[in-house]
Amino acid sequence: MPAPPIETVDSGLDFSPLHEAMQQYIDRDILACVSTLVMKGQDVVDYQTFGYMDTDSRTPLRPDAIYRIYSNTKIVTSVALMMLYEDGKLDLDEPLGTYMPEFADLPVLKPDAAGIEDVVEATEPIRIRHILSHSAGFSYGFIEPESVIDQAYLQGCVNVLADATIDLEEFCHRVAKLPLAYQPGSSWRYSVATDVCARLVEVLSGEKFGDYLQRRLFTPLAMVDTGFWVPPEKSERFITMYAPLDLLDPMKPGMTLADDPASGEYSQPRALQSGGGGLVSTVADYLSFVRMIVNGGELGGTRILKPETLRLMRSNQLAQGVSVAFPMWAMPGTVFGLGFALRQQLQEGDPAASRDEYFWGGMAGTHTWMAPEADLMGMCCTQRMPGFWHPFSHQFRSLAYEIAA
C-alpha cells in the first residue's frame, strides 16, 4: 500500500502564480509532468501535480507516483552514514583506508597531467569527511568526459549511469585502482564519493546497503515506496522518463523516451545499490524523510539523528576559498557540508530568506531545498533527463519564496 495522501493546511496563501507557471511547462511540451510541494514549519501548505504519467496515454500524474530520484539519494546515504557516526562506528577525520584498505595511499594526478600515469604521492589520506563532502579527489566519468580523470574512469569501467551489474564492493575496488583528481581536501568535484559512503555503510554495519536503509530509515519513517527498484505490482505508479529533443536547448519544446517503467532499468533488482543515485521514491515518502531533517532529526516520536549532528552536516567542510562548481553550471556562493550543498553567500536575485539554505537534487529533475531562516521547504519533481539545473526548478524556488517566505 502507498503512503497515506499528503494533507495540506489552509494557510491563506495564494499559490496560483506558481501553479500557472508550472502548467506552462506542460502546455509548452517541455515537461511531461511536474509536482510541487511547499512546507512551512511542519505543515504542507501547497501540493500540486501537473501533466501526465506518460505522454502516450496522457494518464494524469498521480499524487502517489514513483520517481527516479537519482542524486537525491545522496542525502539519504549521507544521513545513513552519519547514523553510524552517532553510533560511534567512525570518526570523520579517520582515514578511509582504516576501514577500506583499497583506498589507502592512492596516487594523485598532477595538475597539468597529460595522461593517467602523470601522478604524485598524496600529501594526506582521504578522510571520511572528504567522501561526505565531495572533496576526496574522486570523479564521475561523465561530467567532464574529455578530462584525463574522466577518461580514466570510463576506461576503468567505472560508470554508474551505464553499469549496474556489479555490487558496491566491486565498484569501489574499481574506483580504488584509479588516481585521485587532486590532493584530498584541497578542492571540490562532484563524484562517486557517495557510492563510496554507501559501501562504507556496508563495511561498518555488516549489512547490504539496501537492507541497512530499510531497517534504519525506510521502515522507521514509513517510507513504503522507496527502494532500488519498482516491483510489478507498483509499475502503474512509475512515471515514464523523457529527454529533451535538444540537450543544449532546455526550453525547446518536444521530448523523447529515456526510460520505460515496464521494461526499463528499474523493472528488476540490480546488483549495484547506488548510494549516489539509485533510489526511487514518492513525494510522500521523501516528504517524511525531509520532515525528519527539518524537525531536527525526529519524526513522529522516532529519532533518526540528533540536532547537533544535522547542524554539523549543514556546516561547510571545504577548504578556504573552495566552492561548488560544475563545468557547465555556475553555483556562486555555494559550499558543501556533509551531504548538503549550502547557500553561504546570496547572489543577485536570491531571496534574502534563502541565506543558509541547504539543498540538493537529482539529474532527472527532483529538487529539494530547506531554508531555516524562512522556515520553508520546497520540493519540485519531474522525470526529465537531464533536469538537474533547469529553468523550471529555479522558477519554482523563486515563486515559492515570493509567496510563502
pLDDT of residue 130: 98
Q: Are 99 and 169 in contact (CB under 8 A)?
A: no
Concatenating the DSSP letter of every residue in 19-62 gives: HHHHHHHHHTTS-SEEEEEEEETTEEEEEEEEEBS-TTT-PBPP
pLDDT band at 155 (very low <50, low <70, confident <90, very high): confident
Helices 168-175 and 193-205, interaxial angle, to 10°?
A: 130
Task: Please write the tens of the pLDDT for every residue from 5-33.
Answer: 999 999 999 999 999 999 999 999 999 99
pTM for the full predicted model: 0.97
pLDDT of residue 39: 98
Reference 91, options 54, 124, 132, 53; nearest CA is 132
- 3-class SS at 340? coil
Burial of residue 293 (CB within 10 Å: 0-12, 13-18, 19+) is buried
Please determine, for residue 248, whether its predicted confidence score (pLDDT) is greater than 90: no
How far does the chain reach from its first CA to its final CA, in angstroms? 35
Please determine, for residue 389, whether its predicted confidence score (pLDDT) is greater than 90: no
pLDDT of residue 347: 87
pLDDT of residue 157: 77
Q: Are 3 and 284 in contact (CB under 8 A)?
A: yes
Domains of the chain: 16-76+212-404 (3.40.710.10), 87-208 (3.40.710.10)
What is the chain's mean pLDDT, rounded? 95
Task: Please write the tens of the pLDDT for every residue from 339-367.
Answer: 999 999 988 888 889 999 999 999 999 99
SS3 of 98-118: HCCHHHCCCCEECCCCCCCCC
**What is the grid cell recorded at 371?**
531554508
Please determine, for residue 161, whether its predicted confidence score (pLDDT) is greater than 80: no
How confident is the model over 257-279, as a mean pLDDT? 95
pLDDT of residue 4: 87
Reference 310, options 334, 327, 292, 326; nearest CA is 292
